[in-house]
Amino acid sequence: MRKSFALHSEPHVADVGGTELLFQAEIFGDEFMDAYAELREAQKKQGVDLDNLAEGDPGELRRTMRSVRLFLARQMLPESAELFTTLDVVDAGGRLLESFTDYDEAEAFAGEEEGARIVDRFRLPTRVMVELLEWVVELYGGGAGSRPTTSSSGSATASRRAGKPGPAASPSKGSTRTRGR
């Protein structure tokens, strides 16, 4: 008996509002699990529940979302990771003062500037961040989306149906009942 396994060779693409974020074609399971464990630990340490964001402290929520960004960036190709993790420190008028990739450095710099605040260069709604996280976990964590995408001619053939086809009409040719009526 012989079994072949396909490997992804092209990057996975997340199209987020017209910006394409490129993710590594394949990630070794232990690397993914280490990164995921670090994310969960950071989340636990900050006491933020990603399933209940309304209850979180805003400062801790920012740090948790930063850890989500860093986790996702570890799965990305370098150019996408750089865009995704860059923090801009802006003044009260929104003018760029300085850019960072380290949150603590950005926070220290912003603390020295009157009215300065930290913003992600690639800003996303929290719901999109959570959707990206779920997609990446499914993609690399062995979920249904982990199988390489191929053309339909490269797809597995359908399983044979048991038994012999009968003379009955196809259900789609007759009227069908709708549940609940």
How many structural domains comprise the chain? 2
| Separation CA 18–CA 11 (nearest Å) | 17
| Separation CA 13–CA 136 (nearest Å) | 11
Residue 33 covered by a domain: yes
Residues 54 and 136 occupy one common structural domain: yes
Residue 152 covered by a domain: no
**Domain coverage including residue 104:** 87-121
Residues 62 and 81 occupy one common structural domain: yes
Put simply, whether the predicted model's pTM sits higher than 0.75 gets the answer: no
What was the pLDDT predicted at 135? 94
Residues 75 and 22 occupy one common structural domain: yes
Token pair of 19 as six digits: 């910006």
Residues 48 and 115 occupy one common structural domain: no
Q: From the CA atom positions of the chain, what is the Rg in Å?
A: 23
Residues 52 and 99 occupy one common structural domain: no
Residues 139 and 104 occupy one common structural domain: no
What was the pLDDT predicted at 34? 87
Q: Which residues of the chain have pLDDT under 70?
A: 48-56, 143-181
| 82 alpha carbon, distance to own chain's centre | 16
What was the pLDDT predicted at 6? 85
Residues 37 and 62 occupy one common structural domain: yes
Task: Please count the helices (runs of H) and the strands (runs of E) in the chain.
Answer: 5, 5
What was the pLDDT predicted at 128? 94
Residue 175 covered by a domain: no
What was the pLDDT predicted at 120? 95
Q: Which residues contact 171 (CB under 8 A, 6 or more apart)?
A: none
What was the pLDDT predicted at 52? 64
Token pair of 107 as six digits: 């926070």
What was the pLDDT predicted at 27? 82
Model pLDDT for residues 103-145, shown as the tens digit of each residue: 999 999 999 999 999 999 999 998 999 999 999 999 888 754 4
